């Protein structure tokens, strides 16, 4: 079993912090004639808690013959022996739970793909090729 942490771009942290600041200031700093309902506090806390959990719990795991990419409670699973190609520079706009724009594409089966952003891209590629020598890397 080998775990590869996800790469996280600095702009994502700035974007999330800015969004948090704007939402909290709109809810709590703008004067209101009414008291804020308790459900608003719960929804805000749950929303930001979920995003934080997804941010810190994003990684790729290769165990036995299965590559699993996890972002919070969402998981993508690809059998290593079904991987056909790995593209070092992803041009895909599809985001499979990544926090970086520096992604790789893992192409498997009949053209299905998974775009992920491991911090150690070359390490993951080498590990997958060592487990399946038929993978074409470009």
- pLDDT, one tens digit per residue, over 2-18 is 999 999 999 999 999 99
State the pLDDT confidence band at 124, using cuts at 50, 70 and 90.
very high
Domain ranges of the chain: 1-138
Global model pTM greater than 0.85: yes
> In whole angstroms, what is the distance from residue 7 CA to residue 124 CA?
12
- pLDDT, one tens digit per residue, over 92-107 is 888 888 999 999 999 9
* CB atoms inside a 10 Å sphere around CB 128: 21
Q: What are phi and psi of 106, to 5 degrees?
A: -105, 115
Q: Which fold has domain 1-138?
A: PH-domain like (2.30.29)
């Amino acid at each position: 079993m080998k775990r590869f942490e996800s790469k996280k771009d600095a702009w994502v942290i700035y974007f999330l912090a800015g969004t948090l600041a704007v939402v909290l200031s709109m809810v709590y700093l703008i004067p209101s004639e009414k008291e804020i309902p308790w459900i608003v506090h719960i929804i805000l806390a749950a929303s930001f808690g979920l995003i934080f959990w997804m941010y810190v719990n994003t990684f790729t795991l290769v165990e036995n013959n299965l590559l699993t990419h996890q972002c919070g409670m969402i998981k993508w699973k690809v059998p290593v022996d079904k991987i056909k190609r790995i593209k070092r520079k992803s041009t895909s706009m599809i985001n499979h739970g990544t926090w970086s724009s520096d992604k790789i594409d893992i192409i498997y089966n009949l053209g299905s793909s998974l775009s992920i952003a491991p911090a150690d891209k070359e390490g993951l590629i080498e590990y997958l090729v060592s487990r399946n020598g038929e993978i074409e890397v470009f």
